[in-house]
Chain A
Amino acid sequence: MKSAPFSYHRPETLAVAVGTLAAFGDEAKVLAGGQSLVPVMALRLGRFGHIVDLGQVGALRYVRDDGGSIAVGAMTTHAAAGRDPLVAGSVPLLARAIPFIGHFQIRNRGTVGGSCAHADPAAEIPVVAVTLDAEMEAAGGAQERTRRIPAAEFFASTYTTTLEPDEVLTSLRFPVWPGRSGFAIREFARRSGDFALAGALCAVTLDAGGRIERAAIGLLGLGAVPVRAFQAEQAITGAAPRDLDMTETGLLAVADTDPPDDVHATSAYRRRVGAAMAAQALTAAVAEAQAGTGATQEAADG
């Protein structure tokens, strides 16, 4: 399974990368970690006349405190992000999602930006971004300048984002959730490292009285794009956790979803498991917030 021929570009700066995309338009494709793109090329499901490898654009590899957010350069590998103390301390949901991504060999090359640009609805990073209301930043395009795109507007459909063909995703900004917050990810996959059949990510903040001040529930694999369960979030905001029926909330979270039927699972199955995962994730996130330990690694495993 050998890729079709292509012309290879290895820019060392973002400016050159952007210029290359502009020059070759639809024929050009960004190569980040390659863990999703190269299989597509090897299977000849996609072919591109020009491959623009961002591997040498060092300026896109970083994790920075941006005051209220953590900014992660798009070419930061999952492994690097997973080891980063800023991520662990300030964006625990991201830190906990990363071990679910494939296998450690994949995480050594796959990138946070690449995962978002590839936009598989069962991928973890996109759902983290949507759950936390992250912000993407892209460079290039007709405007010839950077553009900020809220995560909610970034994912258009399966494998499709709202990036222009000549735009490069340069960074993701994950807001830091302050106060008494808790975070959890629960997903169900057939095997270790597989894309989840269904999953949920939850971030919750409690107010001084212990009620839910803010909740975000993101769903994995239940739609063509990462889905926020707004109905469920609204239903529980302002409530005291002990008054919550987690099962009901989970069911509500998936109520409007229409996940696919495929060889691995039926749509009804995905919704059922999604509801259970949402309930479990919410339970764990609330428990962590109640423990008042803020951002910890305790509830890290699913």
Chain B
Amino acid sequence: MADHVAETREAPEQGVSVAQVSMTVNGTVRRATVESRKTLADTLREDFGFTGTHLGCEHGVCGACTVLVDGAAVRSCLMFAVQADGADVVTVEGLTPPGGGLSPVQQAFREEHGLQCGFCTPGFVVSVTAYLRDNPAPSDAALRDALSGNLCRCTGYQGIIAAARRAARELAEGAS
């Protein structure tokens, strides 16, 4: 039996080349009118002023543009803002704890010198935050594999791996 029987083909609505999008960004509903081809990354940076999300390659390899969309870490350069209409988006700016300061992951990066120029850092912080939330006790190999989706050119990854490990440990201790 076929799952999807498309005997009736519905007439499509006209597509849009410009659209008004609305999404929750870092807890606040934000709206913008954007071309349909405008990426989520560009919209976050230009329309909403969250410049913490960076563009390192614009073709989905470097991970500097990583944000959370509906809780999942994704490359915002590979999404169009129109695809995120109605979504819940969290950028690096949204990871600051309510009272200010640094989140446990951010603090771990500072302790372990996990950044130098800082350009790749927001992407790493968002990725690590999401990853550890879903994988609280990763093995060393699993952690390195998880980090391999973000590129860094300054640190040689030593401080980044140490920071992720430290964050995992401290989050686990905090949770228990």
Expressed in whole angstroms, the Cα–Cα distance for A31 and B36 within the complex equals 13
A1 within 8 A of B: yes
Contacts of A22 in B (CB 8 A): 9
Partner-binding segment picked from A47-55, A221-229, A268-276, A284-292:
A47-55
A23 touches B17 (CB 8 A): no
A18 touches B9 (CB 8 A): yes
Complex interface residues of chain A between 57 and 92 (CB less than 8 A to chain B):
59-60, 71, 79
Given contacts A13-B10, A16-B12, A105-B149, contact A8 B78 (CB under 8 A): no
Q: Residues of A contacting B13 with CB < 8 Å?
A: 9, 16
Report whether over half of chain A's contact residues are helix, strand or loop; otherwise say mixed: mixed
Contact of B6 with A by CB under 8 A: yes
**A137 to B9, Cβ gap below 8 A?**
no
Residues of chain A lying within 8 A (CB to CB) of residue B36: 5-8, 51
Contact status A193-B4, CB under 8 Å: no
CB distance from B164 to the nearest CB of A (A): 13
A91 to B77 Cα, complex, angstroms: 32
> Are B127 and A105 closer than 8 Å at their CB atoms?
yes
**Contact partner, B5, options A55, A102, A145, Cβ 8 Å:** A145
Asked if A144 meets B7 with Cβ closer than 8 Å, knowing A6-B36, A16-B12, the reply is yes
> How many of chain B's residues touch chain A, expressed as a range?
35 or more
Give the complex CA separation of A19 and B59 in angstroms: 30
Residues of B close to A146: CB separation below 8 A: 2-6
> B168 at the A/B interface (Cβ < 8 Å)?
no
Assuming the A-B contacts A105-B149, A137-B3, A146-B6, are A19 and B12 also in contact, with contact meaning beta carbons closer than 8 angstroms in the complex? yes
Residues B4 and A103 in contact, CB atoms below 8 Å apart:
no
Contacts of B85 in A (CB 8 A): 10
In angstroms, Cα B145 to Cα A103, docked, is 8
* CB-based nearest A residue for B86: A56
A-side contacts of B75, CB under 8 Å: 35, 105-106, 109
In the bound complex, do residue A6 and residue B37 qualify as a contact, i.e. CB atoms below 8 Å apart? yes
Distance of A84 Cα from B63 Cα, bound (Å): 26
Q: Are B131 and A8 in contact (CB under 8 A)?
A: no
Which of B6, B77, B82 is in CB contact (< 8 Å) with A10? Answer: B82
B72 within 8 A of A: yes
Question: Which residues of B lie under 8 Å from residue A42 when comparing CB positions?
Answer: 58-59, 77
- Chain A 140-153 near chain B by CB (<8 Å), digits 1 or 0: 10001110100000
Q: Which of B3, B10, B77 has the most CB of A within 10 A?
A: B3
Given known pairs A42-B77, A146-B5, the reply for A79 and B148 (CB within 8 Å) is no
Known contacts being A3-B37, A6-B17, is A14 close to B146, with CB within 8 Å? no
Complex formed: what's the CA distance from A137 to B4 in Å? 9
Q: Is residue B47 within 8 Å, beta carbon to beta carbon, of the partner chain?
A: no
Chain B, Cβ-Cβ closest to A102: B149
Report the nearest A residue to B60, measured CB to CB.
A39
In the bound complex, do residue A38 and residue B60 qualify as a contact, i.e. CB atoms below 8 Å apart? Answer: yes
Of the A-B pairs whose beta carbons lie under 8 Å apart in the complex, a sample of 28, sorted by A's number, is A1-B58, A2-B39, A5-B35, A7-B15, A7-B17, A8-B16, A8-B19, A16-B10, A19-B12, A20-B12, A20-B15, A38-B80, A51-B15, A53-B82, A79-B72, A104-B149, A105-B73, A105-B75, A105-B149, A109-B74, A137-B3, A140-B6, A145-B5, A145-B6, A145-B7, A146-B4, A148-B2, A193-B149
Lowest 7 CB-CB distances: which A-B pairs, in order?
A: A103-B149, A7-B15, A8-B36, A20-B12, A192-B148, A108-B72, A39-B59
Question: Could you tell me which A residues sit within 8 Å of B by CB distance?
Answer: 1-11, 13-16, 18-20, 22-24, 31, 34-35, 38-39, 41-43, 50-51, 53, 55, 59-60, 71, 79, 102-106, 108-109, 137, 139-140, 144-146, 148, 170-171, 191-193
